[in-house]
Amino acid sequence: MTMTSPQVAAPAGAAAPAARTSRRASRRSWAGWWFIGPFMAVFALVFLAPIAYSIYLSVFRNQLIGGTAFVGLDNYARALGDSQFWSALGRVSLFLAVQVPVMLTIALVVALALDSGRLYGKSFFRISIFLPYAVPAVVATLMWGFMYGTRFGLVGNINQAFGLNLPSPLSSELVLASIGNIVTWEFIGYNMLIFYSALTVIPKSLYEAAEIDGAGQLRVIAAIKLPAIRGAIVVASIFSVIGSFQLFNEPSILKSLSPNTISTYFTPNLYAFSLSFSGQQYNYSATVAIIMGLITMAIAYAVQVRGMRKEL
């Protein structure tokens, strides 16, 4: 458009060379598209299309009586005033605030311990701590759900063996902490691996220099190791933030064991799932998903900006 517009006023004869140029230019740009095309096609199909479709869904409303109607931003207004949605968001925010720091701290300590070179049987520990991550979340949750049983599970056995009366881990007060325990168990190994691989690429010369300067292990950790792996810590934090907001598998499976303490709106994802699969409210469910996506992006971005600043 910008190339041809100056030619509009020119006489017809003068247009020929310009047309040739523009044709050549377009051929050049097409060649580029051939390279980027396959990627763009897949990207559009698996990434952009679902998002576009969700946005499309979110501006309609489908009723059992009355069918589908365009409602503009009504669904968004409803979500903003939906106490169930906000209680779900509040619950995962609490989860995020408590579980993520605990998990990352333990993972960091384990990674530093492995990296210290003072651990006997290092590769055994590394593998056994990483192993839970290799267990599918569904299987892990079923296994923990069984252990949490107060009658025939592990908790029940402990109660019996020691004459205790431990409260049920799936009771209203403890269920969130119990889920946090499962998630921590699952993901310590994964985060440990991120930290550990970042630690292994620190040049040995830095440690030698520190040793010559007379720095102890703790000083090495504080002055060399932690600053060097800050990028990895930020990445792990972002993953964990996203993971917390997307909490679904664990509560969804434990719900069959404890239906009254895990509601259908326990986490935002579980809420979106219940809305669409038992309530057939696909449109509102899409709205909830989009709002959650935006909130997750905002918080992940905030973590990144904060984490990448020079001074901690």
- Which positions touch another protein (CB under 8 A)? 63-66, 146, 149, 151-153, 168, 171-172, 256-261, 263-265, 274, 277-281
Q: What's the token pair of residue 75?
A: 């669904």
CB closer to another protein, 238 vs 254: 254
Q: Could you tell me how far CA 280 lies from the centroid of its own chain?
A: 26
CB closer to another protein, 175 vs 224: 175
- Other beta carbons within 10 angstroms of residue 79's beta carbon come to 19
Q: How far is the CB of 73 from another protein (least distance, A)?
A: 17
- Other beta carbons within 10 angstroms of residue 64's beta carbon come to 6
CB closer to another protein, 237 vs 261: 261
Q: How far is the CB of 156 from another protein (least distance, A)?
A: 9
CB closer to another protein, 18 vs 59: 59
Q: What's the token pair of residue 227?
A: 């600053």
Q: How far is the CB of 274 from another protein (least distance, A)?
A: 6
Q: Which residues contact 205 (CB under 8 A, 6 or more apart)?
A: none
CB closer to another protein, 190 vs 282: 282
CB closer to another protein, 113 vs 257: 257
| Cα–Cα distance, 96 to 166 (Å, whole number) | 26
Q: How far is the CB of 138 from another protein (least distance, A)?
A: 15
Q: Could you give the 3-state DSSP secondary structure of residue 60?
A: strand
Q: How far is the CB of 165 from another protein (least distance, A)?
A: 12
Q: How far is the CB of 26 from another protein (least distance, A)?
A: 40
Q: How far is the CB of 250 from another protein (least distance, A)?
A: 16
CB closer to another protein, 150 vs 191: 150
| Cα–Cα distance, 249 to 254 (Å, whole number) | 9
List alpha helices for 116-136, DSSP H. Answer: 122-134
Q: Which residues contact 175 (CB under 8 A, 6 or more apart)?
A: 169, 254, 258, 261, 262
Reference 169, options 188, 189, 150, 195; nearest CA is 150
Q: Cα angle at 236 between 255 and 169, to 5 degrees?
A: 25
